[in-house]
Amino acid sequence: MALRTIRTEGDPVLHKISRPVKEMTPKLRTLIFDMLDTMYEAYGVGLAAPQVGVLKRIVTIDIGEGPIVLINPEILETSGEQTGDEGCLSVPGMAGQVTRPNYVKVKALDENMNEVIYEGTELLARAFCHEIDHLDGKMYTELVEGELHRTTYDEDEE
């Protein structure tokens, strides 16, 4: 296991389109494990491969219910709407209001290249949208309504 360096806003790699994964290789397997380690170490709920400088369509997510690995993810269906604070490991210490669908259904491959379908609401739906946007070079900061603000550790803040 190894930690990777998280690229931050201003790094051009964050604005590039990632390529689909054609086959699982030992190198990509290592990348996935490293992404999980890096995400947990940074207390993030999601990480996309371009955030560690690799332009491959791979995402890791854990909203506290166990790790999810998405390879070549595609959003099949969305519904509803939620507006709330969103942050990103590539924009440390900041957050901003973003409106996302409240329900998202995703099709992807897992780390064994088997097809998986996930349905998420609330935070998980938000994480699917946010991380899949990274694969298309899009940052949540482009969607923020109003201003970005500093995050605090105040537990009462919603």
Site string for Zn ion, 72-101 (x = CB under 5 A): ----------------x-------------
**Closest distance of CB 24 from Zn ion, Å:** 24
* 35 is a site residue for Zn ion (CB under 5 A): no
Based on CB atoms, which residue is closest to Zn ion, 88 or 106?
88
* 61 is a site residue for Zn ion (CB under 5 A): no
Based on CB atoms, which residue is closest to Zn ion, 24 or 99?
99
CA distance 68 to 109: 11
Catalytic annotation, residues: 131
Based on CB atoms, which residue is closest to Zn ion, 24 or 97?
97
* 14 is a site residue for Zn ion (CB under 5 A): no
Residues that bind Zn ion (CB under 5 A): 88
